[in-house]
Amino acid sequence: MTSTLVDWNVNGHTMREQVELLASLHWDVACLQEMTRDSWPAFRATGDQGEVAFPHLPALASTGPRYGCAVLVRAPARLEDFDVLRDVPSPERAAVARVDIGGRDLWACSWAAPPGVTWGDAGKGRQVDRFAAWLRDRPGPVVVGIDRNAPR
């Protein structure tokens, strides 16, 4: 069975053209980075099932992080499980999902590395190292949609 994955850093936007483009494409799994609480509903409507990182984060005093990652699927794919990586400095940037496509499981991860300019090498390195450890431990096929925030 052939499956199609879309990986897109939407950069927090909800321009009608972005949503229309995603809706018009033929895909089974979409890994989206830099969703906002305001942009998520419009993008969520383009898939049959989907989750975004925000509700999976610990309760925060304020509205929490500005951006979060998301995974959307369209039938026949089914979202079996979704969470954020809890042991990373910025869990909203590491959304992971187990997806069933035609009876086969795969892991889909929508991941955004923190920008080194604001996080520094040490902070960004911790996030990258912990994500790499999770990735090494994954059984079976894994697809990663990534915003690596790096010029090199």
One digit per residue, the tens of pLDDT, for the chain of length 152 reads 688 999 999 988 777 799 999 999 999 999 999 999 889 999 999 999 999 998 888 766 566 678 899 999 999 999 999 999 988 888 898 999 999 999 999 999 999 887 766 766 667 788 888 888 999 998 889 999 888 665 55
Do residues 129 and 120 make contact, with C-beta atoms less than 8 angstroms apart?
no
Q: What is the CATH number of the domain that holds 76?
A: 3.60.10.10
What six digits make up the tokens of 111? 């991941």
- Predicted structure pTM score: 0.89
What six digits make up the tokens of 13? 């936007």
Give pLDDT, residue 146. Answer: 84
Quote the CA–CA distance of 38 and 32 in Å, as a whole number.
14
Q: Phi and psi for 136 in degrees, rounded to 5?
A: -60, -30
- Name beta bridge partners: 81: 98
Give pLDDT, residue 26. Answer: 95
Q: Phi and psi for 72 in degrees, rounded to 5?
A: -115, 150
Residue 152 lies in a domain: no
Based on the structure, what is the number of domains in the chain? Answer: 1
Do residues 75 and 48 make contact, with C-beta atoms less than 8 angstroms apart?
yes
User: 9: domain range?
Assistant: 5-147
Give pLDDT, residue 42. Answer: 94
